Each structure stands twice: as structure tokens, then as C-alpha cells.
């Protein structure tokens, strides 16, 4: 019995020690970081972090009221923000996972490569994508700020915008999936996109300005 108890205690110590090491592996970014290699990056509450050609093997976490700028960075996992002030991913930054930004202010993904999804949810500032390659879906849900998906981006799966109230612009993109705009208001403009599958709109509260879109499947949107 004593041997079993000692074994359990040692196992618990190992778990706690391992968790402490995992937390210690998070690089606390509160300024400008250059071309170094780190495990995970944490941008603490209220801090401003700039990653210039930084190699992040894991994830980047942007905390409440914090800001992140990534220039030519490499992220092996995800970029995640909740309650953030500003997130800018640009200048050839590559993200192996997804970009997930929720309940924050302004967000921009420009001139970058993302293997997974790009998701904007319940943000109060403008959410922008331009001239980027997104391997999975591009999604915007319940944002009160403007949704602006523009300028020569490629999306490997669907472009989906649901329940946004600050206005929606989707222009000059190419998607290998569907383009769907549902239950949105504040003005909706959808122009000059190449859509491999279906173009669908439903239950929107604003007039739709639509022109120049090429649709491979069914078209269930029209100007009104």
C-alpha cells in the first residue's frame, strides 16, 4: 500500500512539474521580438507584441486588451485571441493551424498564408482579409464591426458570414467551396468573386449589391 501511495505521489509530482514546464515554455511577449525560435507565445493583458520573422513552434495567444503584429512570422500552431485590442497578421506570415479571433476590436490578415480556418466572431471593430491564401474556411459570425473580405484572397473551402450587423463586403476572392451570407445587416456588397460551388444568401436585413460573380454551382442570391 505504501509503495502504491508513493507511486501515485510521484506521478502527481510529475504531472505538476510537467504542467509547470509547459507554462514556462510560453514566451511572454511585451515588445518587439526578432528572428528567434520559441515554443508558444503569450501576449499578456494590455501588452503590445510585434513578431518580426519569429519562429513559433506552437501557438500564439493574444489576451484581453492586448495587441499583436506578425511580420514574416512562422507559427506552427494557431493564433488565438479573445477580448483583444488589435491583431495584424501580414507580410508573408505563415500559420500552419488556424486564426481564431473572438470578442475583440480590429483584426487584419493580409499577404499571409493560413493552412486552416480564419474565424472572426463577435468583434466590434473591422475584420479584414486581403491578398491571402486560406486553406480551409473563412468565417465571420455575429460581428458588430464591419466584415471586409477583399482583394485577391484564395479560400480552399467555404466563405461564410452569419448574423453580422456592421456591414459586409466580399470582393475579388476565389473560393473552392460555397459563398454564404445569412441573416446580416448594415449593407452587403458581394462583387467579382469566383465561387466553385454555390452562392447562397438568406434572411438578410439589408439590400444586397451583387455583380461580377462567377458561380460554378447554384445561385441563390440576387440584388434587391
Closest Cα partner for 29 from 84, 58, 69?
69
- Reply yes or no on whether the pLDDT at 2 is more than 70: no
The verdict on residue 9 lying in a domain is no
The verdict on residue 203 lying in a domain is yes
Closest Cα partner for 138 from 151, 120, 125?
120
The verdict on residue 11 lying in a domain is no
pTM score over 0.85: yes
The verdict on residue 89 lying in a domain is yes
The verdict on residue 27 lying in a domain is no
Edge-first strand order for the sheet with 147-150 is: 32-33, 48-52, 67-71, 86-90, 106-110, 127-130, 147-150, 168-171, 188-191, 208-211
Give the per-residue pLDDT at 176. Answer: 98
d(CA 206, CA 183): 9
Give the per-residue pLDDT at 87. Answer: 98
Q: What is the tally of structural domains in the chain? A: 1
- Reply yes or no on whether the pLDDT at 17 is more than 90: no
- Reply yes or no on whether the pLDDT at 117 is more than 50: yes
Output the average pLDDT for the chain. Answer: 91
The verdict on residue 6 lying in a domain is no
The verdict on residue 140 lying in a domain is yes
Give the per-residue pLDDT at 25. Answer: 74
Give the per-residue pLDDT at 4. Answer: 37
The verdict on residue 31 lying in a domain is no
Q: Which structural domain range is residue 155 located in?
A: 36-220
Per-residue pLDDT tens for 150-163? 989 999 999 999 99
**Residue 72 is placed in which grid cell?**
514574416
Per-residue pLDDT tens for 63-85? 999 999 999 999 999 999 999 99
Amino acid at each position: 500500500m505504501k509503495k502504491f501511495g508513493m507511486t501515485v505521489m510521484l506521478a502527481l509530482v510529475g504531472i505538476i512539474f510537467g504542467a509547470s514546464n509547459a507554462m514556462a515554455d510560453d514566451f511572454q511577449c511585451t515588445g518587439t521580438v526578432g528572428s528567434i525560435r520559441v515554443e508558444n507565445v503569450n501576449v499578456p493583458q494590455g501588452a503590445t507584441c510585434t513578431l518580426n520573422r519569429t519562429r513559433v513552434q506552437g501557438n500564439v495567444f493574444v489576451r484581453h486588451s492586448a495587441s499583436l503584429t506578425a511580420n514574416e512570422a512562422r507559427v506552427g500552431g494557431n493564433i488565438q485571441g479573445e477580448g483583444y485590442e488589435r491583431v495584424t497578421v501580414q507580410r508573408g506570415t505563415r500559420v500552419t493551424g488556424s486564426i481564431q479571433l473572438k470578442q475583440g476590436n480590429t483584426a487584419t490578415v493580409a499577404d499571409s498564408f493560413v493552412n486552416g480556418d480564419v474565424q472572426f466572431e463577435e468583434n466590434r471593430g473591422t475584420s479584414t482579409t486581403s491578398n491571402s491564401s486560406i486553406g480551409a474556411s473563412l468565417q465571420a459570425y455575429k460581428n458588430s464591426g464591419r466584415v471586409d473580405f477583399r482583394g485577391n484572397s484564395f479560400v480552399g473551402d467555404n466563405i461564410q458570414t452569419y448574423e453580422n450587423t456592421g456591414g459586409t463586403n466580399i470582393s475579388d476572392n476565389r473560393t473552392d467551396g460555397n459563398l454564404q451570407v445569412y441573416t446580416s445587416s448594415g449593407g452587403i456588397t458581394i462583387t467579382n468573386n469566383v465561387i466553385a460551388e454555390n452562392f447562397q444568401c438568406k434572411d438578410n436585413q439589408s439590400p444586397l449589391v451583387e455583380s461580377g460573380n462567377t458561380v460554378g454551382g447554384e445561385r441563390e442570391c440576387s440584388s434587391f
